[in-house]
Amino acid sequence: MISRILRGLEISILLFILTALTGYSNPALTNPIEKVRAYTRSVEFDYLEWMANAAFLKLQSASVDLPHTIKPETQKQIVLEYFDNTKSILQKEYQLSQIYADPNTTDKETATQPLRDELATLYERQNNIAPIAESILQEQVSKVLAENELTANGQPIPNVWYHSTPLPMALIVSPRERIEQTANISIHTDITVDQQVALEEQVANGLNVSSLVVGIGGVGVYPTMVGRSTNMQWFISTIAHEWIHNYLTLRPLGMLYGDTPEMRTMNETTASIAGDEIGYLVMKTYYPEMLPPASLPTIGLVSLPSDHPNPESLTRPPFDFRKQMHETRINVDAMLAEGRIEEAEAYMEARRQVFLQNGYLIRKLNQAFFAFNGAYADTPGGAAGEDPVGPAVRELRAQSDSLAGFVKTIAWMWSFEQLQDAVAK
């Protein structure tokens, strides 16, 4: 037990130092990221403080050997209560935000007092059960990693350590003339929509770039950050996703994460593929009744009767979000390649309206949107467009005999050309 803690602590310290060195260096103002930080310094998220607090909580839990002292059936009850409590918190927080946003409510303090009292009770309960539930989920993910040969002598390196809190937002910046993420800066958790828009406009106008503040699901610092959610399968997959980033950080693929756009997409797509597989296996092993039922495929065909009725009365095929986003990205890439920047931006806004009319609330669709979302190419189509990196990563997984073989192979790559050579064999 002590050796496991010490081994994890050793790697934790190493990752902590690496994160501090890579994430908080102070390059010259000619660096593109530093030009953006001139607008964000006052609202940037403090990762060092967050990691220190999270690491302290993890060491406390490890010192009492959780969850090995708890029976399996009790472990399951604790995890389920953890998610139920999270659901109640998110519901109450949403109700609270609605009251504060309502201009007709003048005395907001009085109106929200009952909700704030309920939230105080829920927060206290969450603070009590979260360390135990997190330790249980960490152990379950670790066991699945061991079963799939992604550990050393049964021990994940680094340890599977995560902490769930409200996450920071991310300011994404891309050049206007092409889609490429040139900056990703974490900003305060509680920044309002108005403040997001103002920051985007300041950066876009000041630097002549495309910018967008986006929400994120997790961050691969150490311990990793995982956003609050009531979707158990997504949540566990995200724990695994962020651990894969930690695993890759100790190998060439992760070390060179930001070296090129291709390397970033290789990293994110690998973490998404592996995270989803591991998350599914954890659910199948420990929470099979929580898995969603397999759904039948939907056939989107429309038959036109011979009497040609009013077109408005016809059944319409469902709106395929990924297909439509894929088409949008391809057209934008073509326009930008021809130097038609303003036309591409007008087209993206028109397409945003189409998505909005079909129930998809996208606040802003621009180059930065695609630069961020296009790197997650574990599923065909979508915001990646015709980028060949995602399909190559998926092909490598298809050719691999096991998940471990796939991850261990791609982890030691340091260029997209190596991936292309591997899938061509």
Are residues 260 and 121 both part of a single domain?
A: yes
Contact (Cβ atoms closer than 8 angstroms) between residue 345 and residue 154: no
Domain, as residue range, for 396: 318-424
DSSP one-letter string for 32-67: HHHHHHHHHGGGB--HHHHHHHHHHHHHHHHHTTTT
Are residues 158 and 269 both part of a single domain?
A: yes
Exposure of 377 by Cβ count < 10 A (0-12 exposed, 13-18 middle, 19+ buried)? buried
Domain boundary (272, 290, 308) is at 290
Are residues 335 and 285 both part of a single domain?
A: no
For residues 381-417, one letter each, b for 16 or more C-beta atoms within 10 angstroms of the residue's C-beta and e for the rest, the string is bbbbbebebbebbbebbeebeebbebbebbbebebbe
How far apart are the C-alpha atoms of 139 and 70, rounded to whole Å?
12
For residues 245-276, one letter each, b for 16 or more C-beta atoms within 10 angstroms of the residue's C-beta and e for the rest, the string is bbbbbebbbbebbeeebbbbbbbbbbbbbbbb
Domain boundary (290, 309, 343) is at 290
313 is a domain residue: no
Amino acid, res. 211 = S
C-alpha 321 chain-centroid distance:
19
145 is a domain residue: yes
Give the total number of structural domains in the chain: 2
301 is a domain residue: no
Instruction: Give the three-class secondary structure for 163.
Output: strand
Contact (Cβ atoms closer than 8 angstroms) between residue 316 and residue 159: no
Are residues 195 and 247 both part of a single domain?
A: yes
Are residues 53 and 118 both part of a single domain?
A: yes
* Number of C-beta neighbours around residue 80 at 10 A: 14
Exposure of 304 by Cβ count < 10 A (0-12 exposed, 13-18 middle, 19+ buried)? exposed
Amino acid, res. 351 = R
Are residues 241 and 351 both part of a single domain?
A: no
| Phi, psi (rounded to 5 degrees) for 329 | -60, -40
306 is a domain residue: no
State both tokens at 97: 């935000």
Taking 3-state DSSP, the helix, strand and coil percentages for the chain, each rounded to the nearest 5, stand at: 60, 5, 30
DSSP secondary structure letter of residue 105: -
**Regions of the chain short of the pLDDT cut 70:** 1-31, 63-67, 294-317
295 is a domain residue: no
Instruction: Give the three-class secondary structure for 186.
Output: strand
300 is a domain residue: no
Are residues 177 and 324 both part of a single domain?
A: no
How far apart are the C-alpha atoms of 63 and 55, rounded to whole Å?
12
Contact (Cβ atoms closer than 8 angstroms) between residue 368 and residue 210: yes
Are residues 251 and 140 both part of a single domain?
A: yes
How far apart are the C-alpha atoms of 206 and 173, rounded to whole Å?
12
307 is a domain residue: no
How far apart are the C-alpha atoms of 408 and 150, rounded to whole Å?
8
CA 399, 217, 37, 255: dihedral to nearest 10 degrees? -30
State the greatest distance between any 2 C-alpha atoms of the chain, in Å, as a whole number: 79
How far apart are the C-alpha atoms of 239 and 218, rounded to whole Å?
8
Are residues 89 and 174 both part of a single domain?
A: yes
DSSP secondary structure letter of residue 362: -
Are residues 55 and 191 both part of a single domain?
A: yes
Q: Would you state the pLDDT for residue 295? A: 45
Instruction: Give the three-class secondary structure for 175.
Output: strand
**Which residue matches tokens 């607008």?**
39
DSSP one-letter string for 288-301: GGGSPPPPPPP---
Are residues 348 and 264 both part of a single domain?
A: no
Exposure of 52 by Cβ count < 10 A (0-12 exposed, 13-18 middle, 19+ buried)? exposed
How far apart are the C-alpha atoms of 232 and 154, rounded to whole Å?
25
Are residues 101 and 208 both part of a single domain?
A: yes
311 is a domain residue: no
